[in-house]
Amino acid sequence: MDAIFIPQLTKAPERTEEIQVQEFLPGLETLTPVRGFVRVQHQGNFLQVFGQAETIITCTCNRCLQQYNQRLALNTQEIIWLDETANQAEDLPLEREVAVEDLLETLSPEGYFYPSEWLYEQMCLAIPQRQLCDRKCPGIKPVAASNSDELVDRRWSSLENLKKQLPES
Interface positions, 123-162, toward Zn ion (CB under 5 A): 133, 137
Segment 39 to 68, residues that bind Zn ion, using CB under 5 A? 61, 63-64
Give the CA angle between residues 52, 10, 119 to the nearest 5°: 25
Interaction of residue 70 with Zn ion, rule CB under 5 A: no
DSSP state at residue 136 = T
Task: Report, in Å, the least distance between residue 69 CB and Zn ion.
Answer: 13
Contact between 104 and 89 (Cβ < 8 Å): no
CB of 58 or CB of 158, closer to Zn ion: 58
Contacts 24+ apart (CB under 8 A), 85-91: 86/111, 87/111
Is there binding between residue 80 and Zn ion (CB under 5 A)?
A: no
| Shortest distance (Å) from residue 125 CB to Zn ion | 23
Residue 19 within binding range of Zn ion, rule CB under 5 A: no
Q: Is 148 left (phi over 0), alpha (psi -120 to 50) or beta?
A: alpha
- Interface positions with Zn ion (CB under 5 A): 61, 63-64, 133, 137
